[in-house]
Structure 1
Amino acid sequence: MKSPLIQIKNLHISFLAAETPSVATTLEPFAVKRSSAVDNATSVPALGEFWPGQGGIYAGIRQYADGLRHVVFSAEDVGEHEWGAYGVEVEASSRIDGRINSQVLTANGGHPAASAAANYTADGLTDFYLPSIGELSHGWQFIPEHFKRDWHWSSTQRSADNAFYVYFDDGDQNGYGKSNELRVRPVRSWLI
């Protein structure tokens, strides 16, 4: 069972002093470590809304090895591409973090889907990548209406011949031959 997505925008707590009931002490809203990209945004949008200045559609918060991250998918696919390197085993096996997988794939060359995602830019941002199977599943769970009901590549390799995909019609996840052309949807994430 996955934990529910929780979003706290502002928290304001007031305490009344016991000895002087007329005096209220107020705590400032909790400070949150934010990236410089987020500092330029006025507020976090609701799930499924376009986030101005952040390059796409807000899909919520996910846990990564380095902490909680905001996740934003591009507003559009960048075509259909082969995953690439059919018959070759590469170290792109993270089911959680597509950034790690995509760095491996683009560094090795011959991976059209990862290259298409990495070359995507929006709102002047160039840190997009091919999502992991977990990130694509997150998109299907929280913002499926923003994806074409079709197969989308993940950056997660299953074997030398197959990589994982998500079918946005019913959420099916499986492996498919790397030489096939499936849709590519770039994503970006940053620490909150």
Structure 2
Amino acid sequence: MKREKISVTTPDGYTVKVPAQLLATAVIAAIFGQTSSILPTAPAALPANTDSVPEVGEYWPGQGGHNAGFVPARDGVPAHYLIVAAKDIGDHKWGRYGEESGGTSRTDGLANTACLLNDGNHPAASACAEYQADGHGDFYLPAAAELYQCWLYTQHLFAKDCWYWSSTQRSANLAFGLVFGVGFQLGHGKDLELRVRPVRRLFI
């Protein structure tokens, strides 16, 4: 049976159709001051004031690094800002050459890093997980797309003459790395020592 709908005009002049049963329930609840218990709660709005957000590439006080840009919600990860650590943490092997890994996401470095830490013997991922700055200890090895975002917006913070590891595996023998001099990504042997730079997320 088709539910009856009633047209309701808002104070702004918009007309919407509402199921008659829901409208009746809302009216009755409003009379008894119980509207909040039967109507869905509106989602929290994003802060309108963005004055506290530093320019892309600038250091974000209290967040452990520089603003590497906004990342929209994707693949189950809520929208956030990518924060890149202020310094490199040395050259490390990716680890476990010749073995397949669960770290295959090209966008989710946090999930990749969790897989690598669970497997063990992944020096680059471990170094990122151990890094701390401004009281934050939730850093990780960036995925290929996150590392590319760092090249797009914060390449001035990186060395131009060496390769940096991502947490994204390409094959049992290779994982993706990026050279900041040209922004080129390529698979490298997991037993090689490449430069490492941690990142973290600031959710909004």
The residue number in structure 2 matching 1:154 is 166
User: 1:108 Cα shift?
Assistant: 1.1
Q: Percent identity?
A: 48
User: 1:191 Cα shift?
Assistant: 2.4
Q: Which moved more, 1:171-180 or 1:62-71?
A: 62-71
Residues 93 and 123, structure 2, Cα contact 8 Å, conserved in 1: yes
Whether 1:43 aligns to 2:63 is no
The residue number in structure 2 matching 1:24 is none
Partner amino acid for 1:129?
Y
Q: State how many pairs are aligned.
A: 157
Whether 1:53 aligns to 2:62 is yes
The residue number in structure 2 matching 1:136 is 147
Residues of 2 paired with 1:53 and 1:75: CA distance? Answer: 12
What's the TM-score once normalised by structure 2's chain length?
A: 0.74
2:175 to 149, 160, 163: 163
State which structure, 1 or 2, has the greater radius of gyration over its C-alpha atoms.
2
What SS is found at the alignment partner of 2:79?
A: strand
User: 1:46 Cα shift?
Assistant: 0.3
Residues of 2 paired with 1:140 and 1:130: CA distance? Answer: 15
Residues 83 and 202, structure 2, Cα contact 8 Å, conserved in 1: no
User: 1:190 Cα shift?
Assistant: 3.1
The residue number in structure 2 matching 1:180 is 192
Unaligned stretches of 5+ in structure 1? 1-16, 18-29, 34-40
Residues of 2 paired with 1:69 and 1:148: CA distance? Answer: 25
What SS is found at the alignment partner of 1:113?
A: helix
User: 1:42 Cα shift?
Assistant: 7.4
What SS is found at the alignment partner of 2:168?
A: strand
What SS is found at the alignment partner of 2:172?
A: coil
The residue number in structure 1 matching 2:116 is 105
Residues of 2 paired with 1:93 and 1:148: CA distance? Answer: 25
Counterparts in 2 of 1:10-89, with a 5 A limit? 31-32=45-46, 43-63=52-72, 64-65=74-75, 66-89=77-100
2:132 to 121, 124, 128: 121
Residues of 1 paired with 2:94 and 2:51: CA distance? Answer: 37
Residues of 2 paired with 1:58 and 1:191: CA distance? Answer: 12
Unaligned stretches of 5+ in structure 2? 1-11, 13-43
Residues of 1 paired with 2:155 and 2:179: CA distance? Answer: 10
